[in-house]
Structure 1
């Protein structure tokens, strides 16, 4: 699976799709990660509270990896302080 993620909402969809592709229920994924099933559900609906450590752990369990690359012909954007 290769997916471009530009919004936090897309990350939740990637997490759910990755979990399903790995053949895991939310309960099974939660058990492997040592968290609750409700936390998996929450992160799949709203990944805004997801830490990098949690993301990498979930990707590891789901057989995914994080790849960062330049966007083709994309202008650099300034971060809005309100977003931080």
Structure 2
């Protein structure tokens, strides 16, 4: 699986797809991650509260990796402090 993520909503979709691709139910994945099934469901629906530690743990359980690269377009918008 290779996905480009530019919004928070897309991350939730990637997490759900990665879990399913790994052949794990929400209950199985939550048990491996040491979190509740309801917390996993929340992160798949709305990943705004997801920490980097949690993201990397989920990727590890799902057999995924994080790759960061420059976007093809070189015109980068200025960061808005409100986005942080």
Consecutive unaligned residues in structure 1, runs of 5 or more: none
Q: Deviations over 1:30-49 (max 9, x none)?
A: 00000000011000000000
Q: Give me the whole-angstrom Cα distance separating, in 1, the residues matched to 2:74 and 2:24.
A: 36
Structure 1 length-normalised TM: 0.97
Structure 2 length-normalised TM: 0.97
Aligned length: 84
Q: Paired residue for 1:4?
A: 4
Tell me which stretches of 4 or more aligned residues in structure 1 moved more than 2 Å: none
Q: Paired residue for 2:78?
A: 78
Q: Deviations over 1:8-36 (max 9, x none)?
A: 00000000000000000000000000000
**Correspondence 1:23-42 to 2 at 5 A:** 23-42=23-42
1:7 shift after superposition: 0.2
Q: Give me the whole-angstrom Cα distance separating, in 2, the residues matched to 1:58 and 1:64.
A: 8
Consecutive unaligned residues in structure 2, runs of 5 or more: none
1:73 shift after superposition: 2.3
